[in-house]
Amino acid sequence: MKIYTKTGDKGTTALFGGTRVPKHHLRIESYGTVDELNSYIGLIRDQNINDILKKKLTKIQSDLFTLGAMLATPPEKETLKSGKERLNIPKINEESIQFLEDDIDLMNKDLPQMTHFVLPGGHQTVSFCHIARCVCRRSERLAVALNEEETISETVLKYLNRLSDYLFVLARKLTQDLQAEEIKWIPEKF
């Protein structure tokens, strides 16, 4: 597979199915931000964390590639004239969302109850989780905006929403595992 094609030299790119759009198109921003999120999750996975968590993060990265492919497919190109699906990969579905929810619950059961917002930080690995959470929220905002212009799968929106929750709880769990300090946000009184 050749890395450079020169087809994007004039500022356009192809969506799945061949439709060309400007590189600043909201659909490109949406799946490009999912790709950025995937890279940050790879950075978390590269940290000194346990192997079980690394496997879970690898699954999430795979799910994000799938989600990106779903976002890269405009609605009119989702099926062929024969009615067969054009994108021949598993889709993000309720099972994908349930995986996140189950792991959130598993991690959360051993964490102290939250009484305040927490300040991001405390350890480099925890900070990477918070950065990924913020990128995930941006990705979700872009997907919501895209959904207002062109319908996208509801499960994409739900998955991104749940994933940001997952990354927040993961940050708290890693704070505990790494014996870092979790600093509560307590607004200063003037």
Distance CA 13, CA 81 (A): 23
Task: Identify the pLDDT of residue 23.
Answer: 74
The total number of residues shown for the chain amounts to 190
Q: What is the arithmetic mean of pLDDT over 81-103? A: 83
The answer to whether residue 185 is domain-embedded is: no
The answer to whether residue 63 is domain-embedded is: yes
The answer to whether residue 153 is domain-embedded is: yes
* Most confident among 2-16, 82-96, 155-169 (mean pLDDT): 155-169
Boundaries of domain holding 64: 21-74+90-101+116-177
Task: Identify the pLDDT of residue 16.
Answer: 74
Token pair of 44 as six digits: 């978390």
The answer to whether residue 111 is domain-embedded is: no
* Most confident among 8-22, 72-86, 92-106 (mean pLDDT): 92-106
The answer to whether residue 11 is domain-embedded is: no
CATH of the domain at 134: 1.20.1200.10
Q: Tokens 């990969």 identify what position?
A: 89
Task: Identify the pLDDT of residue 68.
Answer: 94
Please write the tens of the pLDDT for every residue from 31-75: 999 999 999 999 999 999 999 999 999 999 999 999 999 998 877
Task: Identify the pLDDT of residue 115.
Answer: 81
pLDDT reading at 120 higher than 80 = yes
The answer to whether residue 108 is domain-embedded is: no
Q: Which has more confidence, 65 or 81?
A: 65
Number of domains in the chain: 1
The answer to whether residue 187 is domain-embedded is: no
Distance CA 23, CA 46 (A): 30
The answer to whether residue 82 is domain-embedded is: no
Per DSSP bridges, beta strands 12-14 and 20-22 are: antiparallel
DSSP single-letter state for residue 178: T
Task: Identify the pLDDT of residue 5.
Answer: 75
DSSP conformation letters of 126-168: HHHHHHHHHHHHHHHHHHHHHHHHS---HHHHHHHHHHHHHHH
